Chains A and B, each alone.
Chain A
Amino acid sequence: MEIKDILDEKMMIFDLKAKNKNGVLKELVSVLKENGVVDDEEGFLEVVKKREEEFSTGIGYGVAIPHGKSSLVKKASIVFGKSCKGIDYNSMDGKPAHLFFLIAVPDNSDELHLKVLAELSRSLMHKEVREELEKASTPEEVIKAFEK
């Protein structure tokens, strides 16, 4: 299994509407609901927010990776979101976030999925990957960014 296998082109937003952190989380989680990954949208949003309280998942470099592990999640999924204007995400470097990866993991997720997510997290640390993602305007381009 590779990163592209877990990235679903139906779960990508290239023009996020939200203006703030809570808004963007809500917007990303709603995508999960639409695609049947979670039924209890509010419930999962709480899980993600709770994780956010521990410390911000805005890792800097304009990237944020909100995530939640919960029995509400039916299958490991990623929602990709992009905001051209940038959203204040209370990031570690204080800069607004442009790229969002909402990671949803079921409680008893199999190792395969977790490994892929770990791989994705590692990839995001590389400048080239982030640059490709910032340029991406189609699902194909997003997937391609991780193939390097």
Chain B
Amino acid sequence: MKKVVAITACPTGIAHTYMAAENLQMAAKEMGVDIKVETQGSIGAENQLTDEDIKAADAVIIAAATKVDKSRFAGKPILEVPVEEAIKNAKGLIEKALKMEKPKGYVEKVEEIHKERSAQRTGAYKHLMTGVSYMIPFVVAGGILIALSFFWGYKAFEVEGTLPWALMKIGGGSAFALMVPILSGYIAFSIADRPGLVPGMVGGMLAVSTGAGFLGGIISGFLAGYTVDYLKKLIKLPKTLEGLMPILILPVLATLIVGLLMVYVIGSPMKAIMTSLTNWLKGMSSTNAVIFGAILGLMMAFDMGGPVNKTAYTFATGLLASNVFAPMAAVMAAGMTPPLGLALATVLFKNRFTKEEIEAGKAAWVLGASFITEGAIPFAAADPFRVIPSIMVGSAVTAALSMLFHIELRAPHGGIFVIPIAVSNPLLYIGVIAIGTVVTAFMIAALKKKVE
């Protein structure tokens, strides 16, 4: 049986409040709907709705000529009408209320933002993100299998024929080896469709073999995509031979062009850049590590899954291909603390949040723990100039500490679920995330105003 809860109220609170209530009850009875009506008349509130009533209700009707506090109905469809409406057409009201959709919950909101953002991406950023999104599962599979091989000790994989050796061969030797080619191939795919895939992937292979790393792979992907696009426009074949374009002419020509450019032009300078970058990252002084970590952290929290965040994330993920694992740890920790810190703040400093936000805080724990930074967006959208600086500070602290302690992470995603297997020092890492979470929460307490 459907259940509706209602509140009726009128200016003098003598007659209409009760007539409206009676009418709603009569209509509900007729319709086979369970109803409870709270009357806020001159006698005060009668037949008061309990939390259980509200929880069980499918919809809320507020028929009032006066202001009624709606906060206790958070998350329920609310139909608000003048009190006369319930006297005139109670049945219609109940029908309408039951047809109303639930207001979007916190998790749905986050999902929506996620989708919207993907749809809004355009140009080079979209192509890069397409490449990254195809690459990630390879890195996840590879990273976790490599991490598993360490279960038997860091050098266990060196003994041929053993299980850790096999895991390393699968994860490191194959899945990781595919990551730059896949990145490059799908950047090109995003630009030029299927004909882009071959020159893109081959260009990516060359980026790996020439030592140009993931930065080289990004370049080869764009190069391949735009080359194919250009060739498509340049070469005009008679109709009878058109079928040869996608299977013969485009792949061969584009691959040749991209390949030659990678070997003779791009490979060496990119290799030099990658080598100095990895050397710098690996041999970084503590001060530099802290500064670099803080920058990564600020970027991760700044737009919570937007372009700036993705730039830091892509950078750290790409470095996994060059066996640099510390930035990945810093980036993931910094991406987890914004929702976690907000969740903690909703527990510790309830007066800074609306009832809806406190409710959303519960889900934010899960999103934060799963490294879904977007979980912070609904909070940030409501109060950007206080929430965003708070989470940026928290993320910067976390990422800086993670870099300082040289914690390494071999999987690019997974949040708390990959910490036991893919992090070099799980306990310390959890400690670092906890510090960032607490810092974020206290920053919010300091900056955010009390909700009336």
Contact = CB atoms under 8 A, between A and B. Distances in A.
A60 B87 contact: yes
B20 to A, nearest CB: 9
Interface stretch (B21-29, B107-115, B351-359, B423-431): B21-29
Interface in A33-48: none
Interface string A45-84: 0000001001101011000010111000000000000000
Interface stretch (B11-19, B185-193, B212-220): B11-19
Interface in B30-71: 39, 41-43, 65
B84 interface: yes
Contacts of A121: 14-19, 22
B450 interface: no
A37 to B, nearest CB: 15
Given A55-B84, A60-B87, A114 B16 contact: no
Contact of A103 (B15, B22, B87): B15
B82 to A, nearest CB: 7
Contact of B41 (A60, A118, A126): A118
Interface in A66-110: 67-69, 92-93, 103, 105, 109
A117 interface: yes
Contacts of B41: 114, 118
A50 to B, nearest CB: 10
Contacts of A119: 18
A92 B21 CA distance: 17
B30 to A, nearest CB: 12
A109 B88 contact: no
B45 to A, nearest CB: 13
B87 A55 contact: no
A2 B51 CA distance: 32
A69 B14 contact: yes
Contact of A114 (B14, B21, B88): B14
Nearest to A60: B88
Contacts of A67: 12, 14-15
A8 B42 CA distance: 23
B22 to A, nearest CB: 4
Interface residues of B, number: 21
Contacts of A68: 12
Nearest to B19: A121
A115 B14 contact: no
Specify which of B14, B17, B88 lies most central, judged by the most chain A CB atoms within 10 Å of its CB: B14
A122 B42 contact: no
A105 B18 CA distance: 16
A109 B65 contact: no
Nearest to A118: B18
Interface string B347-386: 0000000000000000000000000000000000000000
A109 B14 CA distance: 11
Contact of A55 (B14, B19, B82): B82
B22 A117 contact: no
B11 A122 contact: no
Contacts of B23: 125
Given A92-B88, A122-B18, A125-B26, A114 B11 contact: no
Contacts of B17: 118, 121
A128 to B, nearest CB: 12
B14 A122 contact: no
Given A55-B65, A69-B42, A92-B87, A125 B22 contact: yes
B17 to A, nearest CB: 7
Interface of B: 11-12, 14-19, 21-23, 26, 39, 41-43, 65, 82, 84, 87-88
| Chain A to chain B: the 8 pairs with minimum beta-carbon distance, closest first | A122-B22, A121-B18, A118-B18, A125-B22, A121-B15, A121-B19, A114-B43, A65-B15
Given A55-B65, A121-B19, 4 more contacts: A67-B15, A103-B14, A118-B15, A122-B19
